[in-house]
Structure 1
Amino acid sequence: MIWVNGEVRDTVEVRDRAVQFGDGCFTTARVQQGFIQRLAAHLQRLQQGCERLMIKGVDWPALEAEMILAASNGYEGVLKVILTRGSGGRGYSAQGCEKPTRIISLSTYPAHYHQLRRSGVRLALSSVRLGKNPHLAGIKHLNRLEQVLIRTELEQTDADEALVLDSDGMLVECCAANLFWRVDKQVFTPDLSASGVNGIQRQQVMRLVAQLGYTLSEVRAGIDALAAAEEVLITNALMPVLSVNQIEQWHYASRQLFDLLNPMVKDGKIDD
């Protein structure tokens, strides 16, 4: 089902800034037993995205109520929330855009994530590089052409996810997940100050890793850093943590950190 500004419908105005320029942000949350997992964190992500994009006038109480109502329509699923600057303005100018558009959709949960938790995943190195833009880095804005190209290329392989580098050849993330790797008691994740999405599950795993007694570092590193890794993990709000078996020619047998984290985040049973 799809709701636009609280109404059940599947169309938006053609002049909406999302259609014209990809002018907005979004978040994707897991729904279990009719409830949104980590609701507060998803709302905070949207607020931070709107602040960065200078989108004002969002009716936050209405949005939260609509999210909760939409989730109650599904036992287990995926809730996607899009906020656009709305309609108005001429050309790139945002003048006249006074009412942001709220778009909420509910879809089925990707069942293959349950299997991938047990089997682990294989990553293929993408030839598509992410551009560097510190002003947009970290947020989940609507300009996803890079990810569309990455996913299109990935679907021509038999890998489960894509490993993505930036224009300098530094590790960033996967197509739809964040990246971690472990060497002994040290855990690393890419520095996302210039590109990539600072996922909600990434933030939670970073906190948990420290609690578990590991040293965590955000680094700018090339793909060769993964050659020395004992273990590699990927995360997002739906997975929420998967163990990586193989990246290109490298194989990983250890699940030490995965075995500690998985029970803590499994089925979303974790506090905000």
Structure 2
Amino acid sequence: MSVARVLVDGAQADTVSVADRGLSYGDGLFETIRFVHGHAPLWLRHMERLHEGCRRLGIPSVDAESCLREALAVSVGVEHAVVRITLTRGAGARGYAPPALPTPTRIVAAFDAPAMHGEIYQQGVRVRWCRTRLGLQPVLAGMKHLNRLEQVMARSEWSDASIHEGLLLDLEGRVVCATMANLFVVIDGALVTPSVDRCGVAGVARAEVLSVRPDAQVTTLSPDQLQRASEVFLCSSVRGILPVQAVGDTVYGPGPVTRAMQHHWRGLGYPMEQA
């Protein structure tokens, strides 16, 4: 995956200040947005989450129209692009205390979207359990903040190319999400997704699924309950709806709920195969 173009505060650049709080403390937020032929079907959801994160962290928010212009500028000519918008609190004096009048740093970068093969959307992916657990922090829960060390440590646990993802538990042993995706399961006919009010990221793809299926239950989920599921799927704004064929030694098969959500995803304008 190679960078196509980068804008820093609206100008072509690929560096930021060494005093930037995003670098020093992970003080900021980011959105990773899938563009197809210059269109981002979930753009509004990404902007809503970014604005809400800014509100919660006390960072001046970005102008959505300016962000869209910059996203289109860096991704022009890239048929299948992933645009990352990073917003930090900006440069500041040494120490944790945030500046009274922050000047945020905005980085907009475009990448080639990861290759996607139709086989994984038909047959599903293999997933493992991670040893790394997510700490409980309701103040930060749901936001896509810049500190992703828990996910980095979890992803470092395996190198087997046949394992697509890893599932994460919280410190109390409850299922939360995958390292780069949210999780949905079907148990006794009901669609269920773990709550992310104490840890984890409230993904925009997750929000889209919940809007389509308002009957879905947002609740706690244990590994034992997951074993009883008839369907399991992952969702992310970049990769879409991915059926899970196995979690460790427990085997699943794509079912009607998963297929219906894949159909919805195609209807939004996302391809299910792109080599």
Q: Is the structural similarity TM-score above 0.5?
A: yes
Instruction: Tell me whether 1:194 sits opposite 2:198 in the alignment.
Output: yes
**Alignment partner, residue 9 of structure 1:** 13
- Amino acid paired to 1:227: Q
Contact map agreement 2:28 2:87 (CA 8 A) in 1: yes
Tell me by how many angstroms 1:195 deviates.
0.4
CA distance in 2, matches of 1:19, 1:228: 43
Change (3 A) 1:58 1:203: closer
Change (3 A) 1:26 1:114: farther
Instruction: Tell me whether 1:178 sits opposite 2:182 in the alignment.
Output: yes
Contact map agreement 1:116 1:242 (CA 8 A) in 2: yes
| Unaligned 5+ runs, structure 1 | none
**Alignment partner, residue 92 of structure 1:** 96
Instruction: Tell me whether 1:141 sits opposite 2:158 in the alignment.
Output: no
Runs of 4+ more than 6 Å apart: none
CA distance in 2, matches of 1:199, 1:37: 14
After superposition, the C-alpha distances for 1:189-225 in whole angstroms (9 at most, x for unaligned) are 1011100000000011112223xxxx42111121111
| Unaligned 5+ runs, structure 2 | 271-275
**Larger deviation: 144-153 or 48-57?**
48-57
CA distance in 2, matches of 1:91, 1:30: 35
After superposition, the C-alpha distances for 1:48-96 in whole angstroms (9 at most, x for unaligned) are 1111111026444432321232233421111111000001233112125
Change (3 A) 1:57 1:37: closer
- Amino acid paired to 1:234: L
- Amino acid paired to 1:232: V
CA distance in 2, matches of 1:57, 1:138: 17
CA RMSD of aligned residues (A): 1.8
- Amino acid paired to 1:237: S
Tell me by how many angstroms 1:153 deviates.
1.0
Instruction: Tell me whether 1:262 sits opposite 2:266 in the alignment.
Output: no
CA distance in 2, matches of 1:57, 1:182: 37
Instruction: Tell me whether 1:26 sits opposite 2:18 in the alignment.
Output: no
Tell me by how many angstroms 1:157 deviates.
6.7
Instruction: Tell me whether 1:253 sits opposite 2:253 in the alignment.
Output: yes
CA distance in 2, matches of 1:267, 1:11: 38
CA distance in 1, matches of 2:22, 2:82: 21
Contact map agreement 2:143 2:201 (CA 8 A) in 1: yes
Equivalent residues in 2 for 1:158-237, closer than 5 Å: 158-210=162-214, 215-237=215-237
Tell me by how many angstroms 1:255 deviates.
1.7
TM-score, with normalisation over the residues of structure 1?
A: 0.92
Helix, strand or coil for the counterpart of 2:213? helix
After superposition, the C-alpha distances for 1:208-252 in whole angstroms (9 at most, x for unaligned) are 223xxxx42111121111111001010000121011000112111
TM-score, with normalisation over the residues of structure 2?
A: 0.91
**Alignment partner, residue 273 of structure 2:** none
Aligned residues: 266
CA distance in 2, matches of 1:148, 1:28: 16
CA distance in 2, matches of 1:28, 1:80: 4
Identity of aligned residues (%): 33
